[in-house]
């Protein structure tokens, strides 16, 4: 599942990089929790929680129903 998550993140990474940020895949747990680290401009952005939940989490769940949650670390 980690490879599928990484491939999906590669699809949305250009949008993050366009704003000076990026995302790093830290871990995918057996129970479907994806742990990500926002980098660059995204790391200190006040909208980072919305990016994680309303953007990345929603996209990953659409691509892979086995993803239960996305959390920032």
The CATH number covering residue 56 comes to 3.30.300.130
Mean pLDDT for the chain?
A: 93
> 14: domain range?
2-72
- Residue 17 CA to residue 69 CA, distance in Å, equals 23
- Residue 55 CA to residue 72 CA, distance in Å, equals 13
Q: What are the backbone angles phi and psi of residue 56, rounded to the nearest 5°?
A: -65, -50
Tokens of 50: 């919305």
Tokens of 8: 């999906």
- Is the pTM higher than 0.95? The answer reads no
pLDDT at 32: 95
pLDDT at 45: 86
Q: How many domains does the chain fold into?
A: 1
pLDDT at 58: 95
């Amino acid at each position: 599942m980690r490879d599928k998550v990484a491939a999906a993140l590669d699809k949305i990474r250009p949008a993050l990089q366009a704003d000076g940020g990026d995302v790093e895949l830290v871990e995918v747990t057996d129970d479907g929790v994806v742990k990500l680290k926002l980098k660059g401009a995204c790391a200190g952005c006040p909208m980072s929680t919305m990016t994680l939940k309303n953007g990345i989490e929603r996209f990953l769940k659409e691509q892979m129903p086995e993803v239960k949650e996305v959390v920032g670390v």
